[in-house]
Structures are given as C-alpha cells and as structure tokens.
Structure 1
Amino acid sequence: MGKSTEITISELIKKLGITSEANLRNYIQSLLEDEEILNLVKNGIRRHLSTVNLLRNNSDILSQQLNFPTKNDVANIAKLAIQIEDKIDALEERIFHLSEAQQIQDTPVQNVVRQQGSELSDAQLTEEIANIKRLLKMNLILNAGNITTENGLNNRIEDLRNRGKRRG
C-alpha cells in the first residue's frame, strides 16, 4: 500500500504541474493579446529606456565635471595602449635588425679598406671608412635592412678611388 500511495502522490503532483503550467500559459497568452496591457508595457519600456539614457548622460556629465574617466575614455585609452605596444614592438624589432646588419657590415668595411687602402694615409683611411659607413647606413635605411655584400662593398670602394683619381 505504501508504494501505491507514493505513485499516486507523484502522479498527482505531475498532473497538478501540467494543469498549472497550462493555466499559466493561457493566462500569459490572454495578457499578450490584450491591447491595453501591450500599450502599458510599451510605455513602460519607453520610460525605462529614456531613464537609462538620462542616467547615462548625467553620469558622463558628472564624470567630466569631477574629472573621472568615462567608459569611452577607458576604452579609448586601452586602444591607444595596444597601438603603442605594437609600435614599440615594431621599433624594437627594426632596431635589432639594423644593429645586427651594422655589426655584420662593420667588419667587412674595415677589412676591405685595410686590404685596398694600403697606399692611403691614416687620415684618408679614416675618412674613407667614415664615408663608407655613412653610405652603408643610408643603404640600410633605404633598403629596409638589406645587407650589402662584401663584393658590392669592394666595387664601391674602387668606384670612390676612381672618382678621387679623376679629381686629383
């Protein structure tokens, strides 16, 4: 007998839930079909929306007067911070590549000038090295990091010597 009463109680609760759900659904459907209630809800939503907009505007005005950042200010600062980080990373990478290229090019310049410049005086040799370094730096900047080969460097030195001989 205990099991049969439990089954009937659970069935009774189930039937009660189903009927109350159906009644509630019918009641809500009747409310949604009523034009007066729909108009009241529309007016309530409009008032609520205008109140929210008014509060948002007033909080922005108050934030500006009290010198507090608004949500838009914080969002703009976050965007700027991200852009700055990206630019700094790009600059660091470019500086790294340029310094690597400069280190690679410094050694061949001195070796080539020593090999081919044995007849030059120390002052002329120093001036020649400085000119070549200037040209290499300019070449690095113009070619965005492309490295000049040692043969190209030798040709440039020969060209400079020939120009000097024609002038002299």
Structure 2
Amino acid sequence: MNDSQDFYKKLKEWGVKTEEELNTFIQEFLNKKEFMVFANQKGKEIMPVLKKLQNNIEQLSVIYNFPTKNDVAAVAKLAIQIEEKVEKIEETLTELSQQIKEINSQKAVFPASGLLENALSGLNEKSGAPQKEPQAVSRLQAVLIERLAAKIKNRKIEGVYDPARMKKSKKKNIHG
C-alpha cells in the first residue's frame, strides 16, 4: 500500500513540474517576435477566406431559407423595440385607469376641450349625419379622450402619432 501511495505522490509531483515547464515554454514561445510576425501574416491570409465563407453562407441562407447571424440580430432588435412600446402603452393604460378611478371617486366635471369638439364635428361632417352636441358624450369619455390625445401628441406613446412620418407618407402617396 505504501508503494502505491508513493507512486501516486511521485506522479502528482511529476505532473505539477511538467505543467509548470510546459506553461513556461508556451509563454516564452508566445512572447517571441517571430511568432507575432507569423501569426499576423497568417491572420492576413485567413481573413479573405473567412469573408468569402461568410458571403457563401449568406447566399446559402437565401437559397435554403435559414436565418443568418445578422437576421437573428435584427429580429432581436425588433423584439426589444416592441417590448419597449408595449411597456409604454401599459404605463399609459395604467395612468388612464388611475385617472378614471380618480374621476369616479371625485365625481368631478371637467370641461371638454376644443379637441374633442373638433373631432366629433369632423366625423359628423364626413358622415353626413346631423351634428350632435359634445354634451352627448359623457364627461368621463371626454376627459379620457382628451388625455389620451394629449399623450399621443406629446409623443408619450411613441410610434402611435408621428407628424413627421405622417407628412412623409402623405407626400409619397401624392407623388407615388
């Protein structure tokens, strides 16, 4: 039993010594200028091959309809943007819900702004229906519509109302 313990002890010592020697050799080899020049040269030779391989993979992805690294990255970016928009909409809905509770608890009457009146009159004019007074809409609905319209105009809900984008799309439709 002593012999086997001595054997394993010597084997362990030899392994530790060999590991240290090997690490020293590798470090010295990597620190030599010749190795750096060689690695740089081979890197320059390999780079065009890698670019060609990447282009071939891109072409194959179109033919065989599988996603590339860039496709996956684009989808991930879109998913993040969607999550952010959903969070903003959830926040707005939460705020509106709290405002509804406040209005119901206070039984307050808020005057309707010109925004609601203009929207209703514009709808009635387009539909040809007789115009109704804004009082026909409950005060609660009026307040909610006003606040939602204000948030959209203030771009608190991004992507819902973008005047610059709307102007561009109108120009495209006129000329296109």
Q: Compute the TM-score of the two structures, normalised by the length of structure 1.
A: 0.47
Q: Which has the larger radius of gyration?
A: 1
Q: State the TM-score, normalized to the length of structure 2.
A: 0.45
